[in-house]
Amino acid sequence: MEPNKTKIIQLFTRKPEPKWWEELKAADTVGCQWDVRSFFSPNAGVILIPRNELTEIRKEELSQSKAYILVESSWTLQNLKRALALVRGALFLDAAQGGEEAFKVVQVALARQAERERNSQMMQMMRVQNRQIQELNVSLEEVVRERTTFDTESRRASQKNISRVREIIVFIKEMAQVLDISDLLPLIRRQLKEYHSLEAPLLFIPRGEGFGDLYYMRQSQTIRTRVRAQWEVSARIRLNDAQDSLFLANAMGRPVAKVLRFPLITVRHQKDPSRSPLLLFEHNLSQDQLDPLMASLTETLQPVSWALDRLVLEQELKSSSRDWESTFDELPEPIAILDHDGRVLRANSQWREDFKDVMSNDSKEFRVGSQLYAVEKYPIHMSPESPPISWVVYLRDETRSQKLKSQAVQVEKMSAIGQLAGHIAHELNNPLTGIRSLSQVLLTEMTAGSQIHNDLTEVEKASARCQNIINNLLDFSRGGMESKVQVLDLNEITKKTLPFLKSATGKFRSDIQLSEGQLPVRVEPHLMQQVIFNLVNNACQAMNEKGEISVHTHKDARWAVLEIKDTGPGIEPDLKERIFEPFFTTKAEGEGTGLGLSLSRDFVRQFGGDLEVESERGEGSTFRVRLPLDEP
């Protein structure tokens, strides 16, 4: 506050100063500045208005002054009201009281003015402060508004984040449910639809050195092709490599521009990233667009890696279990995994329903019908201490191996007999030659018709018969040694075999009718002789004391047919097939091996023919050998 202003006492008058003005000035004890003006000075602290001036004052003039107003007393009430309406503060000055008393009133006015001034200044200050507060408020509001905007935005961002995470979770779920690799691509394509610069994805899965499977989409179909390519596969992202474009172009048979190659690092390929699957995209990305894309692609495609891990593993498991299955199915003998109760958990194709009782006893052998199996059981334990949870059961066909063994023994025996027969024939031939030749010489020295001539003739004839037998034996034995398939006349083989059967056929009537003309067949002669021998021998053994044995041959279209018929009791219908089973015999122990018919049928089938039997009870049996004719 300016000090002079508070102490400026102004007399407002347009007339001569009243006589108390001088008295008042003289009573000043505080050193005020006393002014007389005909207007309301803005600088005055107190303005004195004489009684006679009051009506002249205009409201406008007065209101411009901030001074405290003192009016001369003895105003009318009406005037006073008017004055009070005009001024914010007013006091009455009673000039008649004298200068000193009047100055006290001036001092009061000064004090009030000063207070008013202070108040006004305080008001001023408060106004400034208010304004400052208001300004502060405004800036605070700004801050709050900004803050709110920020919050909203970050909320939106986090919501976006959440929805993205949700999306990924859904994607992971979908990936986890994919059953086939070819179903991956449409899902990946959908997941990446926001990346407009990427074309539909392609998937390459390395399967071995220099080859793999390429999956790509044509319309909505996923196509798989096996691709052979010397193509560098590594675990790093590759952009716009000409090799990749060339590879895809070759694989799909169409031109390919820019390629983004994105490795899917699966758990299984962490150690060997060169075997990791690759996602490939045709694209039109620029290098600077790549980095931000990569980060989000890595995240988005992680579930694909997981799914691939699982799918490739499943695929490999499936194919390896298929390999095992076909391996087991190829094995000629029955193998199965059984539980304790003999339930079949898994079995190869040789396993039959009738093997189910194999677990019911601890026997090392198991018989089904005429088949005999050696049983081998291997327990499967979950842990070394626990009891077995299941068993691998392996049935070795003993019938088959015994049959093979017998067959080998038989062949061996025949070969030994052949060699032996050769030696015997040679040893017999020499003296026999002498006997016959000497008989012939001596006969020339005898008188024809004499007793000695006749006897010697018998000796010569007998030695001739012996020679024949020995020649046949030699033929037979030589066949056994050579074991060679050749084209021979079935009639000839039959003729050569029958003499050996004389001891068997001797007591029966025999009816031999061989076809006219030759029956050329491709056989091993000694095996075919063995067949005829077996069949005729069997036929004879089937008959008791009397009966007839017939050996007939004929031609039937492209077949040579040999029928050996007996008049024995015949074969029971249910035994008709079983008689061809190895070791099946109706003969007494030690009399038959049960192999004769089985081997005979094997041999005939080996020559491309067949051996069958016709039999009626009480009507005898006919065994019929059919062999393909070897004719041009």
Partner 1 sequence: MKVLIVDDEPLVRLSLKRALEKSGHQVAEAADGQIGMEVWRNFSPDLTFLDVLMPRITGPDLLKALRSAGAVTGKVILMSAFTGDYNLERAKSVGADLFITKPFEDIFAVVKQGEELVRGKGK
Q: How far is CA 440 from CA 435, 451, 470, 471, in A?
A: 9, 16, 20, 20
Q: Which is nearer to partner 1, 467 or 541 (CB)?
A: 467
Q: Is 337 among the residues that bind partner 1 (CB under 8 A)?
A: no
Q: Is 98 among the residues that bind partner 1 (CB under 8 A)?
A: no
Task: Output phi, psi for 253, to 5 deg.
Answer: 70, 40
Q: Is 434 among the residues that bind partner 1 (CB under 8 A)?
A: yes
Q: Is 441 among the residues that bind partner 1 (CB under 8 A)?
A: yes
Tokens of 264: 């899917």
d(CA 186, CA 446): 114
What is the footprint of partner 1 within residues 475-514 (CB under 8 A)? 478
Q: Which is nearer to partner 1, 287 or 430 (CB)?
A: 430
Q: Is 435 among the residues that bind partner 1 (CB under 8 A)?
A: yes
Identified binder of partner 1 from the candidate list 27, 432, 459, 485, rule CB under 8 A? 432
Q: Is 560 within 8 Å of 629 (Cβ atoms)?
A: yes
d(CA 538, CA 444): 47
Q: Is 437 among the residues that bind partner 1 (CB under 8 A)?
A: yes
Tokens of 253: 């048979």
d(CA 478, CA 538): 25
Q: Which is nearer to partner 1, 403 or 436 (CB)?
A: 436
Q: Which is nearer to partner 1, 136 or 464 (CB)?
A: 464
Identified binder of partner 1 from the candidate list 438, 446, 469, 504, rule CB under 8 A? 438
> Stretches 185-193, 375-383, 463-471, 620-628: which one binds partner 1 (CB under 8 A)?
463-471
Sheet holding 33-37, edge to edge: 33-37, 8-12, 46-49, 68-72, 90-93
Identified binder of partner 1 from the candidate list 89, 273, 422, 547, rule CB under 8 A? 422
Q: Across the chain, which distance is largest between two alpha carbons, in Å?
A: 229
Min CB(498)–partner 1 separation in Å? 21
Q: Is 453 among the residues that bind partner 1 (CB under 8 A)?
A: no
Residues 6+ apart with CB under 8 A from 132: none
Min CB(446)–partner 1 separation in Å? 13
Of 617, 611, 622, the C-alpha closest to 566 is 622
Q: Which is nearer to partner 1, 383 or 430 (CB)?
A: 430
Q: Is 290 among the residues that bind partner 1 (CB under 8 A)?
A: no
Q: Which is nearer to partner 1, 297 or 425 (CB)?
A: 425
> Stretches 147-155, 225-233, 470-478, 607-615: which one binds partner 1 (CB under 8 A)?
470-478
Number of amino acids touching partner 1 (CB under 8 A): 23
d(CA 101, CA 523): 173
Q: Which is nearer to partner 1, 431 or 608 (CB)?
A: 431
Identified binder of partner 1 from the candidate list 160, 318, 405, 426, rule CB under 8 A? 426
Min CB(463)–partner 1 separation in Å? 8
What is the footprint of partner 1 within residues 217-276 (CB under 8 A)? none
Tokens of 513: 């009718």
Q: Is 425 among the residues that bind partner 1 (CB under 8 A)?
A: yes
Residues 6+ apart with CB under 8 A from 100: 27
C-alpha 27 chain-centroid distance: 119
d(CA 490, CA 425): 24
Min CB(486)–partner 1 separation in Å? 15
Q: Is 440 among the residues that bind partner 1 (CB under 8 A)?
A: yes
Q: Is 10 among the residues that bind partner 1 (CB under 8 A)?
A: no
Of 576, 556, 537, the C-alpha closest to 627 is 556
Q: Which is nearer to partner 1, 13 or 477 (CB)?
A: 477
Task: Output phi, psi for 198, to 5 deg.
Answer: -100, 135
Tokens of 481: 């040694």
Q: Is 444 among the residues that bind partner 1 (CB under 8 A)?
A: yes
Min CB(523)–partner 1 separation in Å? 20
Helix or strand or coil: residue 346? strand
Q: Is 257 within 8 Å of 302 (Cβ atoms)?
A: no
Residue located via tokens 């390929």: 269
Q: Which residues bind partner 1 (CB under 8 A)?
A: 422, 425-426, 429-438, 440-442, 444, 463, 467, 470-471, 474, 478
